Amino acid sequence: MTVTPRIYLASKSPRRRELLRQIGVNFDVLTFRAGARGDDADVDETPLAGEAVDHYVERLALAKAEAGVRRVLWRRLLARPVLAADTTLELDGEIIGKPIDSADAHAILARLSGRQHRVLTAVAISDGERTRSRLSVSEVRFRTLSEHDIRRYVATGEPMDKAGAYGIQGHAAVFIEEIRGSYSGIMGLPLFETAALLEIFGYPV
């Protein structure tokens, strides 16, 4: 009997899980326990001084994949490749991550209103011997948002766990005039790049 290969997904994101299932990848979620031990905390997502956005997002994806491999070893789990990803926005050269509260979400959406921004998602895979990554860069243009648009959207709670304070797969889809790039990359896991990486590690999609 043929055993279907599996990987670990080092992410709690339900959107990434959904996208992996969409392309038929079998995976187990590898959780990080913040604070349980000094070296088993989540990866520090603080940008380095003067760090370019593309370097930042790829550095984090690589760090998450490598941290996932360490956890596989610590927990004595079955050895499998670990897939991780990181998504961030760039506007006016500034890194825009997840909002810290509803006021921050409101401020971010007000900045995105009527403008074009970049969404960068890096995906990385590591098996402990090899670590590889790919970067997806997309452009998104928002229509002009009214104060009512922003308040109503923030009140849904949807912006709170998402880079740039919105999810393209949710209600914010009505704000988007145009995208250039990868829809799945904007969601948080670019499937073209993910499939290419999986093939390198012997997991053809």
Are the C-beta atoms of residues 192 and 199 closer than 8 Å to each other?
A: no
The two three-digit tokens of residue 178, written as one number: 């145009």
Active-site hit among 42, 86, 92, 104: 86
Question: Would you report the helix, strand and coil content of the chain in percent, each value rounded to 5?
Answer: 40, 25, 40
Candidates 24, 20, 21; CA nearest to 4 is: 24
* Bridge partners, residue 6, by sequence: 26
The residue assigned the tokens 């991780």 is: 84
- Provide the sign of the torsion angle of the four alpha carbons 46, 18, 149, 115, taken in this order: positive
Q: Would strands 94-96 and 82-91 be described as parallel, antiparallel, or unpaired? A: antiparallel
What stretch of H or E contains 97?
none
Task: Measure the N-to-C terminal CA separation of the chain; round to a whole number of Å.
Answer: 20
Q: Residue 85 and residue 204: Cα distance in Å, rounded?
A: 19
Catalytic residue at 86?
yes
* DSSP secondary structure of 10-21: ----HHHHHHHH
> Could you give the residue numbers annotated as active site?
86
